[in-house]
Amino acid sequence: MKTFYCEKDGKLSENMQAFYKNLATYGKIMSLIRKKDVKVNGARVSKDGRVSVGDKIEVYYDGEDKRTLTEIYKDEDVLAAYKPSGVTSEDFFDYVKSVYPSAEFIHRLDRNTDGIMIFALGKSAEEELLKGFKQRTFDKYYLAEVYGVPAPDAAVLTGYLKKDPEKAEVRVYRDKTAGAVEIKTAYKVLKKSGATSVLEVKLITGKTHQIRAHLASVGHFILGDGKYGKESVNRKYGFKSQRLTAYRLVLNFDGGKLGRLDGKEIIYTPALAAYGIK
């Protein structure tokens, strides 16, 4: 626990940022507040609010930031970095921003999905990268370890995905369903290990939880997935974290500011070894 006293009137979060400096991102600070890990004058708080000079702030966080930024690719316009599992895309962006102040947020990965995230280094590149994700001109590939072995060894799955906001999850149907949107997910089996297999998955469409829910809907849920998988299977095989990694990204541009990167392939090669792929 750290204790300090406010040095100026203002928001609690601002005073915490001044105290922790570069040892805690804004996202981390807001997370501590929401989790009631902060006391103001002895009382726990759950929302950011006004504080005054001399107020006593107690925070159940030591501020020892041991993270390092693993850069996969970087030039004057683009940064591709490795996001660890268990970190939200927003918190990871805050950390990237602390290293590269010109970084701009482009896309998300699920909290428990690790792998490549790409950022624009400046506004001029932001527009081109956002367009690539929005228009799905980029090719996005994942490694997934799943229960069972899909047949055939390679296919394009088609389904219909519907969000359930109350449960913060989605459901995939085989047939057209009211309120659902069509999704397409391609896969190729790379490795078979008894009751499990490793797939390379390509997103053809890109919806919330698409890979996790789509594979689960055909009986091949991702190991370690606590939402769409089976806890009994996860325990049996000892998986406590989700086995899904965004490991390869191919950029496609039709001229423009980033035309020189047309066809550029970005790969997080350590993922291959982590999944036992040679």
Only one residue has tokens 């626990």, namely 1
Q: Which of 76, 230, 251 shows the shortest CA–CA distance to 146?
A: 230
CA distance 96 to 212: 26
Clarify whether 77 is annotated catalytic. Answer: no
Model confidence, pTM: 0.78
Residue-by-residue DSSP string for 191-239: EEETTEEEEEEEESS--TTHHHHHHHHTT-PBTT-TTTS-HHHHHHHT-
Per-residue pLDDT of the chain (278 residues; tens, 9 = 90+): 888 999 899 999 999 988 887 677 788 899 999 999 999 999 999 999 999 999 999 998 876 556 689 999 999 999 999 999 888 898 889 889 989 999 999 999 998 999 999 999 999 999 999 999 999 999 999 999 999 999 999 999 999 999 998 888 999 999 999 999 999 999 999 999 989 999 999 999 999 999 999 999 999 999 999 999 999 999 998 888 899 999 999 999 998 899 999 999 999 999 999 999 98
Q: Phi-psi category of 255—alpha, beta or left, where left has phi over 0 and alpha has psi -120 to 50?
A: left
Q: Which of 77, 66, 88 shows the shortest CA–CA distance to 118?
A: 77
Query: Reduced to 3 states, what is the DSSP secondary structure of residue 261?
Result: helix
**Type of residue numbered 162:** K
> How many Å is the Cα radius of gyration of the chain?
21
pLDDT for 151 equals 97
Q: Phi-psi category of 261—alpha, beta or left, where left has phi over 0 and alpha has psi -120 to 50?
A: alpha
Sequence-distant (6+) residues with CB within 8 A of 234 are: 223, 224, 225, 226, 240
Q: Identify any residues that bridge with 110 across adjacent strands, giving them in sequence order.
A: none
Class of domain 142-245: alpha beta
For domain 2-59, is the CATH number 3.40.50.300?
no
Q: Strands 71-74 and 56-59, how do they pair?
A: unpaired
Angle at 192 between CA 190 and CA 197, to 5 degrees: 80
Catalytic residue among 77, 91, 94, 110: 110
pLDDT for 95 equals 87
Q: Where are the domains of the chain?
A: 2-59, 142-245
Strand stretches in the chain, DSSP E: 2-5, 10-11, 38-40, 43-45, 50-51, 56-59, 71-74, 78-83, 103-104, 114-121, 139-147, 154-164, 169-173, 181-193, 196-203, 244-250, 265-267
